[in-house]
Chains A and B, each alone.
Chain A
């Protein structure tokens, strides 16, 4: 367990919340997500929650706590660790695990690179390398259901994703084998070696996520809020230096006030310029945003428009 002490970024539940009658849109989305999690608990033997410490995975942990309360969260969490982490996020991850008594499994991309099972890409980006360690971890722990924080609003390739998404033993997603999803009756049947990716946040939008985080006072790693950081411009994004390297010749390092909209592989996750230091300010910023969070921050999604679809077929998240 990490010895780093973490300053949880909490927000007070805003006044509007206590006045909100039941059954607004966030209540409906929350009830749906909890229903999905309980179906998984009822129908699968060894589910796991993918957990990076980022906001979507924090939301999954929060919803799992609610779904099974007063019992503890009945699933372990799995972090596919690229080795290109923000220190704040890893410290946060460990603090959350300890606070809620979760079991943490780690699949380390670095281990695979060190022993030669994977080789570093020319561009240094490790997001595409996550697939193999993830699938190996699923096989090793015999996970039959894997919760992810994916949402259908993230991009076009996801619009047809199911809430229960069947994957082959190779993690592949085959469009023709996906089942129609009717009412709220989910079909989780799978063959030995296959697993089901489950997306309880399918029907949430980025704005819903932030509104819910604000309403519930969910803690997030500090890098989601504005801070000063040394950054350099590449591919139209502000990148920062870290274990993955730094500015190349001709790339000027400047100090900016920035925040992150997603947390991921530090080599290709860009910061956005922002003064939003509180949840309310972040919320206001998301409302006015002109870019999707992927468009704003992930260099590797720009490789091609169909990038996500290709990776899904390969067994990526």
Chain B
């Protein structure tokens, strides 16, 4: 059996991210002949194919010489399949990094070994920490350009550990690997030029690292997507609640509470197309049947009875502002939490995080694109919000523009 690891990459311009991702695809043979031919055709002046071209983006971006959007790449080894969110660190850096980080179980941050940990590295690490990406890898790239010098690598690795640990990462969630994306050292194959390094190659680490899925140990959370009522001859009275288990584990017989109303009932069935099952865990799409007909509809959250969030109409949250249109407090907005969209208003912007110094500036006028800030929100209907750090699936929400429909911000209750 192979499993799936979702990862994100981030780095400053020219650190070699495109080359590194291209190298991973190339060395895992995830590049097929026709794609490789296209790259060889596009490589200027002959010579070794420029692997960064494998991950080249849309033509308009190509023409401007910039990459401005998250791109998804796929590669696989016999042991694991990988979905890689390639987040460019240019103009819209926070927007892209937040987007990539939101689904990532691991992030690979890049630095140029000649420059070491820079502002952008701190910024990316801070965003990964904010979004609770469970594990980080620092790829110390262009190790060939510092003559494979161990001391330089050790200095960079130490500084990275200090930065990440100050943001809450445990030592065993962090790895720093000396690589050369261009030459291939320690990306897929171990390098003879770094005899002082006895850790894994980047790919070996990605294959071995435990996959931190949605938390199966967390309290059970199940946003209801749709009600299944076939009313067919075979199933005249069937009524089930379809959804994806956001967190935790449910068993037939478990007491649950339906939020925001708060009625208690019991799970009497967990169904899938293949048949009934006893248990459902985080990440599984299933249908739940309940002991009582409580008029449960889309938007409700079914939660563990003994550990359920208190529905709230006023709460504080951290927002990552993603849209050119700035946040103006007091304007009418929408919040999408789980499967429920409600009217909302941001009443106050408490502070704005300076992602470079990691200091919080109090009482800003609002938030602009790529800003991260702490806000107070009022919603028109109670929402069963968790603390994001405890249960990400029901601690996260979107802020949406009711007129244009655009996604304005990523929100986390904290």
Contacts and interface: CB of A to CB of B under 8 A. Distances in A.
Interface of A: 20-25, 27-32, 34-35, 38-39, 41-42, 65-72, 152-153, 155-157, 159-160, 175, 177-185, 187, 189-191, 202-203, 205, 207-208, 289-292, 294-296, 305-306, 309
Contact of A180 (B226, B284, B397, B407): B407
Interface in B96-123: 96, 98-99, 102-103
B59 interface: yes
Nearest to A177: B406
A204 to B, nearest CB: 9
Contacts of A31: 244, 283-285
Nearest to B224: A42
Given A25-B4, A205-B81, A207-B76, 8 more contacts: A24-B4, A67-B285, A159-B72, A160-B71, A185-B336, A187-B400, A205-B76, A291-B32
B4 A187 contact: no
A182 B35 contact: no
A184 B392 CA distance: 11
B238 A70 contact: yes
Contacts of A180: 70, 95-96, 98-99, 322, 407, 410
Interface stretch (B228-236, B306-314, B377-385): B228-236
A295 B102 CA distance: 33
B243 interface: yes
Given A182-B396, A291-B34, A66 B272 contact: yes
Interface residues of B, number: 68
Contacts of B2: 24-25
B405 A187 contact: yes
A187 B404 CA distance: 12
Interface of B: 1-4, 32-35, 38, 55-60, 69-74, 76, 80-81, 83, 86, 95-96, 98-99, 102-103, 213, 225-226, 228-230, 232, 234-235, 238, 242-244, 271-273, 281, 283-285, 287, 298, 322, 336, 338-339, 392-393, 396-398, 400, 405-407, 410
12 contacts: A23-B213, A25-B4, A28-B283, A31-B284, A70-B230, A156-B55, A184-B244, A185-B398, A187-B405, A187-B406, A207-B76, A294-B34
B136 to A, nearest CB: 19
